[in-house]
């Protein structure tokens, strides 16, 4: 399988996400089918070519798409107290 939450970690640090697509594997990457941000490869040569292209880039070309994706799908609190208040309110839902 190709699932990995490390895709979100990569986005957070501005790294490209490469998702291999193999005939005998199910693509469960959390970015697949909801975004065109990942770079999909279907062969060893394709992976090698994409890696070579990425290493030659001066910057990450999808910055605005990544920012839009993250803001559409995730909530980022303004500060620590807001985050802790949100966590506290969620734990009170169980009672």
3-state secondary structure of 1: coil
In the prediction, which pLDDT does 1 show? 45
In the prediction, which pLDDT does 16 show? 84
Q: Does the pTM exceed 0.75?
A: no
β strands within 1-95, DSSP E = 18-20, 39-41
In the prediction, which pLDDT does 61 show? 62
Of 17, 22, 23, 25, the C-alpha closest to 65 is 17
* Confidence grade of residue 4 (pLDDT, cut at 50, 70, 90): confident
Q: Please tell me the distance from the alpha carbon of residue 73 to that of residue 67, in angstroms, as a whole number.
A: 10
Q: What is the pLDDT of residues 44-68, one digit of tens each?
A: 899 889 988 887 877 666 667 777 8
């Amino acid at each position: 399988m190709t699932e990995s939450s490390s895709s979100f970690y990569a986005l957070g640090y501005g790294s490209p996400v490469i998702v291999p697509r193999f005939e005998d594997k199910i693509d469960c990457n959390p970015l697949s089918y909801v975004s065109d941000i990942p770079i999909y490869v279907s062969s060893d040569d394709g992976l090698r070519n994409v890696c070579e292209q990425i290493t030659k880039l001066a910057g990450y070309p999808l910055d605005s798409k990544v920012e839009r994706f993250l803001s559409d799908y995730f909530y980022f609190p303004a500060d620590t107290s807001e985050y802790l208040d949100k966590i506290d309110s969620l734990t009170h839902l169980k009672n």
